[in-house]
Structures are given as C-alpha cells and as structure tokens.
Amino acid sequence: MATYKTKVKDLKNISNKTDIGGAPFWGDDILGLQINAKADFINTNESLRRRLPLYEYDRGASPAEKMHGSALILSGLTYNSANPSAVVVDSGYFLAEGEVCFYPGGTFNTSSGSAVQWVYLGKGAALTESRVFADGVNKEFKVEYGATAYLTNVGTTGPATEPLTSADLTKDFLFLTIVDTTASGYTEKYFTTDGAHKLTEIGEALTFPAFTDFASLGTGWATDAPLFGKLASRVLPNGQTQIAGAVKKTMSGGSSPEVIGTMAKENISFSGSVNVPIPCIVYDQTNYLTNYQLTVSSSGVLTLKPGPSATFPTALIVVFIDYTMTGATSVFNQSYTYNKTFMNVTP
C-alpha cells in the first residue's frame, strides 16, 4: 500500500513585499508549488483508492493466493470491443502505488482464446526527460510514470496469467473485461471513484434481478401459455428466493408425488436439506383448490402431491405459484435503510 505524499512549506504572502517584487524566489520554491499541488491531488485520490476492494480471485479448493491492491481509474481507459481482432482501449490515467500513471492506449487481438479476456494495467517505469544544465551536464529534468498492460484468458478457475506470482498488497492493478458477453463494461466500475464511494453497491441493493426459467420440467409438465407462460425463479438482493409461474399436466389419479421441475442452480438460495413448503392454488377444471402440498428441496426440485387422504383427479390440472421464500438464516440479518435525505444537497 502506497504511503501518502509529504508536502513542503507554503509560500507566505508578505504584504507590500511579495506582490511588488524583491522577494528572493528560488527554483525550488516553484518546484514546491508543484510538490504541494501533486501531493494534494494524490493524497485525496489515494484515500479513495484505499476504499476499493482488494483483488482476490476464487481459484477452487486449493487456491494459490494472489492478492493485491486495486488501482483507481482517474480518466479514460474506455474501450470498443466491436471488432474482436482489434479491441481498442483508449488512453487514460490511473493511480497505482502512489503515482499517477499514464496508459497511451492500445489494440488487442481477442479473436482467439477464451470467452472471457481481461487486460491488466499496472504501474510502469518512470519515463524521464533530460536537459543540459548550466554546468554542461545532461540531467533528468522531468518525469512521468507509464503503465504495464497485458492480455490474459480467463477460465473457470480464474485468469490464466496474473501480474503477480504471490500475494503482495504493496502492488496495485486494475483489469478491464474487454471480452465477456455478460460482464463487459461492468467490472472496471469497481476501480472508479463510484466504487470507492460504494455507489456500485447501492445500485446492486436497489436492483432486482430478472427471473430465470426453470432448468427443466418434470415428465408431462408444461407451462400454461394462456396465463403466465413461464415457471421461473430469482434470488432477491436480500437472499430470499422468489418463484412464480403456472404449469399444467393431465393427471390420471393416484397420490404419488409429482416432480414439477428443477430450478436453475444460480437462482437458489437455501441452506439445509429440509423441503420448504410453498402455498399454491390448483385448478382441476372445476374448482380452485388450496389443499395441495408443494415443496422445494435445497437442490431446487419442486414437488407436488395431494393433501392428506386425497388423490390427483383424472383431468388436466393447472398449478399457480407466486411465492417468496426465506430459506437461509442470513436473510434475517439483512436490512435496508431508505432515507429520503440521502445525498440531498438542497440548501
């Protein structure tokens, strides 16, 4: 982690002296103006950069830990992935390891490789400019920091190549997801001031995900198109699981449990293996009944059976489901605060 920049003493305005001339200015005094301005800028943004999440990627049961700090995007670094053979990343500045680094931009060929590809950016070498001084010696006079950049494939166990071989929290990097059909354009938001202010997390908390269709339906079961036309589920931001839809099947009596379908694995938020009861309404072409027993297992299997001492009819039935389940104890610790004065700057 970078240390904050130190400052030098400010110039003092001596009334009727400094402003009319005669003050003994030295070259180092002018340099001090730059030192203080740069320190103020970097220290302000460094305090934001330290609020960014640490980089740590899940690599499976036996991970080789490669943790590092996150760099902060200051400007630019947008990209256009329209042409996979020439993905263009624009120039920009970012803060890493206590210095403002400049990336001049680049073009990457992503036409081959994995379905997800990242570009890593990190602090580069000091780029200096020299001048000949009065003593005739050529000396370094100006300096700026460049950037390192490289492209890597990303698989199920993480990126194929990473900037570090082991954990080092003194190093900062950011990555741009330039190839990904779902996440492109999103991950780099966590390396911005919005990420530092946790505005990205506010968006997640206030965004409800879309429903996802069940992964499969049981034998003979189909969605009821004239009504919902779907059987789907989603996990809400607080961890609850919501199921909604209508399905139908022509029954032939009996009381054996019927597997209606299996939920998509990414839309299940249960703990334990006890079946969760779900209220439902069953229409048997004559009556709307509520005495059926509908349960969902921890693996997302939805099962229907008649009530005690009852049997399925010999007819077409339609099952209506619209229920939100609390299937994990962590949900009870979730809270929301809706404050009407939040970010209200009206005087």
Segment 196-232, tens digit of pLDDT: 877 666 555 566 778 889 989 999 999 987 667 889 9
Res. 345 pLDDT band, cuts 50 70 90: low
pLDDT digits (tens, 9 = 90+) for 108-125: 998 888 888 888 999 999
The answer to whether the beta carbons of residues 227 and 107 sit under 8 Å apart is: no
> Does residue 46 register a pLDDT over 70?
yes
CA distances from 70 to 52, 98, 152, 177 (A): 6, 12, 17, 15
pLDDT digits (tens, 9 = 90+) for 279-337: 899 999 999 988 898 988 878 889 999 988 889 999 999 999 999 887 666 666 666 66
Q: Which of 1-15, 63-77, 114-128 has maximum average pLDDT? A: 114-128
pTM given for the model: 0.57
Res. 273 pLDDT band, cuts 50 70 90: low
- The per-residue pLDDT of the chain, averaged, comes to 81
pLDDT of residue 187: 66
How confident is the model over 155-184, as a mean pLDDT? Answer: 76
pLDDT of residue 103: 94
pLDDT of residue 106: 92
How confident is the model over 47-72, as a mean pLDDT? Answer: 74
Query: Residue 194: phi, psi to the nearest 5?
Result: -60, -40
pLDDT of residue 310: 87
Number of alpha carbons in the 13 Å side-chain half-sphere of residue 254: 7
Res. 256 pLDDT band, cuts 50 70 90: very high
pLDDT of residue 314: 93
% of the chain beyond a pLDDT of 70: 80
pLDDT of residue 145: 92
pLDDT of residue 318: 94
DSSP label at residue 129: E
% of the chain beyond a pLDDT of 90: 23
**CA dist., res. 104 & res. 303, Å (int):** 58
The answer to whether the beta carbons of residues 159 and 152 sit under 8 Å apart is: yes
- Report residue 76 as tokens: 């630019």
The larger pLDDT score, comparing residue 67 to residue 177, is at 177
How confident is the model over 178-191, as a mean pLDDT? Answer: 69
Number of alpha carbons in the 13 Å side-chain half-sphere of residue 107: 5
